[in-house]
Amino acid sequence: NILYAHGNEANGLLNSGLQGSIMGPRVNKWKSMKGLNIYDNSFDGSIAEEIGKLKYLRFLRSNNNLLSGKIPNAITKLTNLLYLDLGKNQLYSAIPVDIGSAQNLEELRVQENV
């Protein structure tokens, strides 16, 4: 299962797509999810620790949204993750130290956060 919810940068407006909290505690309901492509929207709120329960997740592309708070340590539990893009949000914490031990991670983007 892969979720595609790509927003629209129409007329040069950023964050002009879907709105609301999508990465909250209920994200663990998507246990079989292999990809979350939810970039260029107006999704807000924090990334819940429950993200670490998505053990099949290979791609998490949530750049150019309004996500805030810390990058949870649970993100390091995503052992199948190949691509992680959290750039252009309002995240303010350091990258979890253990992300360096993610053997499958090929690309990490966290640019332009607070």
pLDDT band at 16; cut points 50, 70, 90: low
pLDDT tens digits for 18-44?
A: 888 999 999 989 999 999 999 999 999
From the CB of residue 14, how many other CB atoms can be counted at a distance below 10 Å?
A: 15
Angle CA 99–75–21, to nearest 5: 145
The pTM of the full predicted model, rounded to 2 decimals, is: 0.89
Question: Cα(30)–Cα(113) distance, rounded to whole angstroms?
Answer: 26
Give yes or no for a contact between 76 and 51, defined as CB atoms under 8 angstroms apart: no
Task: Let me know: does 75 contact 96? Beta carbons within 8 Å.
Answer: yes
pLDDT tens, position by position, 44-84 = 999 999 999 999 999 999 999 999 999 999 999 999 999 99
pLDDT value of residue 93:
83
